[in-house]
A and B are shown apart, each in its own frame.
Chain A
Amino acid sequence: AAELKAAASAFKLDEPTTPEKDVTNYNNFYEFGTGKADPAANSADFKPTPWTIKVEGMVSKPREFGLEDLLAMPLEERTYRMRCVEAWSMVIPWIGFPLASLLDKVEPLGSAKYVAFETVVRPEQMPGQSGYFQPLPWPYVEGLRLDEARHPLTILSVGLYGRTLPNQNGAPVRLVVPWKYGFKGIKSIVKITLTDKQPPTTWNLSAANEYGFYANVNPAVDHPRWSQATENRIGEGGFFGGSRRDTLPFNGYGEEVASLYAGMDLAANF
Chain B
Amino acid sequence: MIALPALPRKYHGASVWALYALGFVPAISGFYLGATGQLPGNAIKEFEHLLGIWALRFLIATLCITPIRDLFGINWIRYRRALGLLAFWYVAMHFSTYMILDKYLDFPQIVADIAKRPFITIGMAGFVMLIPLALTSNNWSIRRLGPRWNRLHKLVYVIAAAGALHFAMSVKVVGPEQMIYIAVVTALLVWRLFRPRFNQWRRGTAGRPGMGRAA
Point out residues on A near B: beta carbons under 8 Å.
21-22, 25-26, 30, 34, 36-37, 86, 88, 132-133, 135-136, 206-207, 222, 224-227, 229-230, 232, 234-235, 237-241, 243-244
Cα A257 to Cα B112 in complex, Å, equals 30
B35 touches A227 (CB 8 A): no
Contacts of A26 in B (CB 8 A): 40-42
> Which residue of B42, B103, B173 contacts A135 across the interface (Cβ within 8 Å)?
B173
Chain A to chain B contacts (Cβ below 8 Å), 27 pairs: A22-B40, A25-B40, A26-B41, A34-B172, A34-B175, A36-B40, A37-B40, A37-B41, A88-B41, A88-B42, A88-B45, A132-B176, A135-B173, A207-B172, A225-B119, A225-B170, A226-B113, A227-B112, A230-B109, A232-B45, A234-B41, A234-B42, A237-B37, A239-B101, A241-B37, A244-B102, A244-B103
Expressed in whole angstroms, the minimum distance between the Cβ of B19 and any Cβ of chain A is 27
B186 contacts the other chain (CB 8 A): no
Cα A238 to Cα B37 in complex, Å, equals 4
8 more CB-based (< 8 A) A-B contacts, given A239-B34, A243-B44: A30-B173, A133-B176, A224-B117, A229-B109, A232-B44, A234-B42, A237-B37, A238-B38
Cα A207 to Cα B177 in complex, Å, equals 20
A25 touches B41 (CB 8 A): yes
Contacts of A86 in B (CB 8 A): 172
A238 touches B42 (CB 8 A): no
Point out residues on B near A: beta carbons under 8 Å.
34-45, 47, 101-104, 106, 109, 112-113, 116-117, 119-120, 169-173, 175-176
Cα A170 to Cα B171 in complex, Å, equals 23
B44 touches A239 (CB 8 A): yes
Contacts of A135 in B (CB 8 A): 173, 175
Expressed in whole angstroms, the minimum distance between the Cβ of A206 and any Cβ of chain B is 7
B104 touches A238 (CB 8 A): no
Cα A230 to Cα B38 in complex, Å, equals 23
Which B-chain residue is minimally distant from A238 (CB atoms)?
Answer: B37
Which A-chain residue is minimally distant from B100 (CB atoms)?
Answer: A239
Contacts of B39 in A (CB 8 A): 238
A36 touches B41 (CB 8 A): yes
A238 touches B36 (CB 8 A): yes
Cα A198 to Cα B101 in complex, Å, equals 40
Contacts of A30 in B (CB 8 A): 173
Expressed in whole angstroms, the minimum distance between the Cβ of B4 and any Cβ of chain A is 35
Contacts of A238 in B (CB 8 A): 34-39, 43
Expressed in whole angstroms, the minimum distance between the Cβ of B81 and any Cβ of chain A is 31
Q: Given that A88-B45, A225-B117, A225-B119 are known contacts, is A240 also in contact with B40, CB under 8 Å in the complex?
A: no
Contacts of B176 in A (CB 8 A): 132-133
What are the nearest 10 A-B pairs in CB distance? A26-B41, A238-B37, A135-B173, A239-B34, A238-B43, A88-B42, A25-B40, A133-B176, A239-B35, A237-B37
Cα A237 to Cα B37 in complex, Å, equals 5
Cα A235 to Cα B116 in complex, Å, equals 30
Cα A135 to Cα B171 in complex, Å, equals 11
Cα A165 to Cα B40 in complex, Å, equals 20
Cα A224 to Cα B106 in complex, Å, equals 19
Contacts of A25 in B (CB 8 A): 40-41
Which A-chain residue is minimally distant from B47 (CB atoms)?
Answer: A239
B173 touches A136 (CB 8 A): yes
Which A-chain residue is minimally distant from B110 (CB atoms)?
Answer: A227
Expressed in whole angstroms, the minimum distance between the Cβ of A181 and any Cβ of chain B is 12
Cα A25 to Cα B38 in complex, Å, equals 13
